[in-house]
Structure 1
Amino acid sequence: MLPSSSSHQQSPGMDSRPLTAIPTPLAVAIADREKLGQNEAIHVAQEASRDQKYSVFSQVMRKYLTYLLGLILTLSTLTATIYFPLIPMLSAELGVSIQAINLTVTVYVVVQAASPAFFASLADAVGRRPVLLGLIALYTVATLGLILSFTFSTGRNGYNALVALRALQSLGGSTMPPLAYGLTYDIVPVAERGSMLGPMLAFCNGISAVGPMIGGGIALGTGGVLWVWVALLVVAAVCLLLTGFTLPETARNVVGNGSLPASGVWRTWVSLPKASKDGEDRGSDTPQSQAQASQDYLSQKPVLEWQPLQALDSFRIIFYPEAAAVLWMIASSYSVYYTFQVAIPVVFSEVYEYNELQIGLVLLPGLAGMTLGGILAGKLLDRNFATIARKLNLDISSKTAHASSHFPLEVARYRGCEWFLLFMAACVVGYGWAVKLHVHAAVPIVLQFFICAASTLLSHTASALLVDTFAERPSTTYASAQIARCGLSALSSALLQPLVEAIVSRTKGVGWRQRRREHIRANDSL
């Protein structure tokens, strides 16, 4: 169940009302939301009273974790993008239809939407490191299984193994984004989170952008898909080793602000060298006062005990009134990007008569736009927060800067984004008219770049706002965003082909226009 508390503590100078107070019209509808926020209020007040650092992890360690998490995230994104060019070859190798191979994509997406709810809540309760390490190990075993399957199995047995092992791959990789968001919120204060989220997501998206080229190139070069699985196994093994040896536990209910020593499965396989002398890094060099403060904080903080029913918390968040609008922005903006990626093969093959290689190249501008959107989102998050804090004469380095009920967190996160929303809508309309009028292919390709950049920026900034709103359980909260965006994306992609068949110009033109022309010709012949 979601955490709750029966008392509030406040810092000097803060608003006299409870930190989690909600306007009366919403109080009944979001009673559970208040419980979720009380522990975060206690957390902010207790740390502020001691003037304790938010995190003792150094800037060097933050930078390293940024790119390590970006690499780990590729296990989720690269696994999906590398697969699309393999569909015809998989159909031929296994002797099944294209529709049967598409079913493996559906299974992957279903598991991708559902699994984070379970593992994200587990990570919020027991810690990030053991859950992340276990999931990477599961992904590695599933990928090894695919290699063995394509080496020794053929026909229907090979297809059944593909369905099962792709589901296990999705189970292992799909929870990486919620865990990465949770780790970011563990070690970076609210005013600086964009500086970590932006590069992390851009690094991941940049690698995933070349996924179709990697998958298609390896398959064409080797004459089969076996070596594609080998490439994924290498990436998974590297992530497993780096996580095991270097990724520290960061969950604040386990190690506080990082100053408490970890033990058992929460401890890295080797002790990392300290990067500073002033106690910024965690470990034996951390000042005793920091460790004692964290110990005192954990002794007062309610223990987060995990129960299987907590897997439903991600679904419950979807129905909170203050989460609904944010989730809609996350899901709708992401589904715009996803739908365009799915539509490109249809549009450019039927309207512009591109071949498979040309279609693969056409995908790259959109993926490049996605990478740029991630970078811009990170910078925009930090700049907007700093701007609002300055207007309110607040110190952005203070952990209580956003704790007051008067702080406009929504404005601080989404300020100016309405212009990006309007820009994206205009580009989508322009894309439709460009395809309808058969203008030069460069026009829809350029528009695709801007659409994907804007949709990614909107999705990432809304995700940051959502996790800030439900800050006590960051991984669980982001899992709700993944449920929403995967669900809407699956729906939009399912509706895409019928819409294309009804609207997009085909060899005989748009259906209603063709029928009108036939009617005119019939009247002329009379």
Structure 2
Amino acid sequence: MSEEDERRGVGEVPTEQEPTPSDGSSTKYEQPDDNQGSQDTDSPVDVERQDNTVAGMAGKVEPAVPPKAFSVWSKNEKRLIIATGSLAGFFSPLSSSIYFPALNTIAVALGVSGSQINLTVTTYLILQGAAPMVIAGFSDSMGRRPAYVLCFTIYLAANLGLSLQNSYAALLVLRCLQSAGSSGTVALANGLVGDTVTSDERGQYIAFASLGGLLGPSVSPIIGGAISQSLDWHWIFWFLLIFSGVFCVPLFLFLPETCRKIVGDGSIPPPPLNWSLTDVIRHRRRERQGVTYDPEDRAALLQNYKFRFPNPLPTIMILLDPESLMILVATGLALACFYAISTGASSSFRDIYGFNNMEVALMFIPIGVGGIVSAFSTGRMIDWNYRRYARKKGITIVKGVRQDLTDFPIERARMEIALPLVVLCSAFVIGYGWTMDHKVSIAGPVILLFCIGYTATATYQTLNVLMTDIWPGNAAAATAANNFVRCELGAAASAAIDPMTKAMGRGWTYTTLALIYLAATPTLLILMRRGIQMRKAKTERQERRRLRKKEKAGQET
């Protein structure tokens, strides 16, 4: 066995000579695309490998070739890749949350009302939801690296314009452009997860994938509060311009191309436009070690590599899928409560407790800390429950090889973690509203903000993992769909929170939001019970569409 095979973990996979597991369980490996419910899932190379790695069940013919690892990347390499992509995604929540403590200051400086300045938050969220729908399709055809270059070019230009402008109209338009550039990186971060990580280990990597999004709510308001308190508010955008410019240098130089439709499992060299320094070094080292690749595999992958006008259709198809829509609405409502609290915090803490910009910024720390604690604990629970159901189904999990989820109750495994969190999050949101309404000690809102940060983030993580599970080859498009729903619902909540608070009071406003969130739980219970049937029905629909396209192509020829 070569050193490369050992590094990829091939030696850990049962071979033809190894006996069936003593507990009588069977090892199931993932089948081709039609079993996964994905429109346009893995590369031709992946499909061929999956055909050669069908489970070696007792009493059946064993595979001629042992199953290969899902990815050539080592554990540390995967962590570094995903953490880098996640930190790139940090700029989207950073640009949103850094703005909150300075809302009143900017409103006074530009001579506009609180509702008008809240509109800049709403429009930011609208574009934050829509932009990933476009960039996800672009990254699937051109690769992750060109998509990152496009996103950050737009983002840098928007920050420069925001630093120099002094009108409300310019602020509104440029914030939309800023959002369009930064938000695409959120979908790309989860695309990196789908490229490199299998379902059995996805929970532990979600902490790295979520790191940037979780740091945003906790760190950026402090930065924004400090800048607006001591400097002119324009320096918020100068800071974003300088910080993102410095970050782009190592990102563009060292992040490797991972898109499976272009590099397969990572062993195929990418096209020249997608090369990074790490790609050059790695593939030259592989050549010196005598590790080669099949030219036919690369030729097949190169057929996927072509510029296509950014197409939101894959994301729209996910939005129209009934199973996905149930998950997306629940995720969106959780984040809507989160955004409603974040948007209303600036005026609430200023009016009730008389806080200045810096003191308001400190109130965002509990939310962020709760989210960070969630990231490093929820993933373990997700993976533990997955392994528990695998044992119940008699499935042996082979590390680094993607499992066949056709008959696996993945929805139940994930939802048993998510549903209690939904109920707890709703209760905490109600408690926060009434503590603010009755103007209790500041300790009450601080504790509840931590609990909301934990439960809302944990719910989002769990349901986001499930979306990646049921759309394994379309992780970026699935994340774009997730982002679209949560941002649009968040935008609605951000726009409504001020007039709702004035009309109903804080207690009834947040109670109403929490009850709307709880209304999503019956659909999640349906998903728990009928998830497998819904996935199979989806697969049948996709197979019928594929056959119709094939017949139509045959008639045309």
**TM-score using structure 1 length:** 0.79
Structure 2 equivalent of residue 7 of structure 1: none
Structure 2 equivalent of residue 53 of structure 1: 69
Measure how far apart 1:242 and its partner are: 1.4
**CA separation of 1:399/1:45 partners in 2, compared to 1, >3 Å: closer, same or farther?**
farther
Structure 1 equivalent of residue 426 of structure 2: 425
> Aligned pair 1:200/2:209, yes or no?
yes
Structure 2 counterpart of 1:264, from 272, 294, 298? 272
Q: CA offsets per residue over residues 101-155 of structure 1, 9 Å max, x none?
A: 43333332221121111111111122111111221122122223333x24xxx4x
The CA distance in 2 between the partners of 1:205 and 1:476, in whole Å, is 21
For 1:288, give the aligned amino acid: V
The CA distance in 2 between the partners of 1:66 and 1:13, in whole Å, is 28
Matches within 5 A, 1:21-36: 35-36=39-40
The CA distance in 2 between the partners of 1:505 and 1:266, in whole Å, is 51
Q: Secondary structure at the match of 2:79?
A: helix
> Aligned pair 1:460/2:479, yes or no?
no
Q: Which runs of 5+ in 2 are unaligned?
A: 1-25, 55-64, 508-557
The CA distance in 1 between the partners of 2:33 and 2:394, in whole Å, is 19
Structure 2 equivalent of residue 392 of structure 1: 393
Measure how far apart 1:264 and its partner are: 1.5
Q: CA offsets per residue over residues 45-69 of structure 1, 9 Å max, x none?
A: 2363652221111223222223322
Structure 1 equivalent of residue 552 of structure 2: none
> Aligned pair 1:284/2:292, yes or no?
no
For 1:46, give the aligned amino acid: D
Q: Secondary structure at the match of 1:53?
A: coil
Measure how far apart 1:273 and its partner are: 5.2
Q: CA offsets per residue over residues 420-467 of structure 1, 9 Å max, x none?
A: 222223323333443444433312321221122101100111011112
> Aligned pair 1:243/2:251, yes or no?
yes
Measure how far apart 1:375 and its partner are: 2.4
The CA distance in 2 between the partners of 1:303 and 1:273, in whole Å, is 24
The CA distance in 2 between the partners of 1:319 and 1:391, in whole Å, is 32
Q: CA offsets per residue over residues 61-106 of structure 1, 9 Å max, x none?
A: 2222233223211211111111122333434544555554433333
State the Cα RMSD in Å. Answer: 3.3
The CA distance in 1 between the partners of 2:121 and 2:354, in whole Å, is 25
For 2:329, give the aligned amino acid: W
Overall identity of the aligned pairs, in %: 27
Matches within 5 A, 1:78-477: 78-147=94-163, 149-150=164-165, 154=166, 156=167, 159-222=168-231, 224-269=232-277, 283-284=286-287, 288=291, 291-292=293-294, 296=297, 299=300, 303=304, 307-308=308-309, 310-397=311-398, 402-477=403-478
Q: Which runs of 5+ in 1 are unaligned?
A: 1-11, 23-32, 507-526
Q: CA offsets per residue over residues 210-251 of structure 1, 9 Å max, x none?
A: 2111122123323x1233222212221122111211011000
Measure how far apart 1:16 and its partner are: 13
Q: Secondary structure at the match of 2:364?
A: helix
For 2:127, give the aligned amino acid: V
The CA distance in 2 between the partners of 1:360 and 1:16, in whole Å, is 47
Q: CA offsets per residue over residues 295-344 of structure 1, 9 Å max, x none?
A: 54873998476654731321231121111211122111111222222233
8 A contact 1:191–1:385 mirrored in 2: yes
Deviates more, 1:410-419 or 1:109-118: 410-419
Structure 2 equivalent of residue 65 of structure 1: 81
The CA distance in 2 between the partners of 1:208 and 1:235, in whole Å, is 17
8 A contact 2:436–2:445 mirrored in 1: yes
**TM-score using structure 2 length:** 0.75
For 2:106, give the aligned amino acid: L
8 A contact 1:43–1:301 mirrored in 2: no
8 A contact 2:215–2:372 mirrored in 1: yes
The CA distance in 2 between the partners of 1:263 and 1:251, in whole Å, is 12
Q: CA offsets per residue over residues 366-389 of structure 1, 9 Å max, x none?
A: 222122222223222222222222
Measure how far apart 1:395 and its partner are: 2.8
Measure how far apart 1:176 and its partner are: 0.8
**CA separation of 1:270/1:351 partners in 2, compared to 1, >3 Å: closer, same or farther?**
closer
8 A contact 2:269–2:279 mirrored in 1: no
**CA separation of 1:67/1:407 partners in 2, compared to 1, >3 Å: closer, same or farther?**
same
**CA separation of 1:400/1:376 partners in 2, compared to 1, >3 Å: closer, same or farther?**
same
**CA separation of 1:116/1:47 partners in 2, compared to 1, >3 Å: closer, same or farther?**
farther
For 1:226, give the aligned amino acid: H
- Paired positions, count: 470
**CA separation of 1:196/1:453 partners in 2, compared to 1, >3 Å: closer, same or farther?**
same
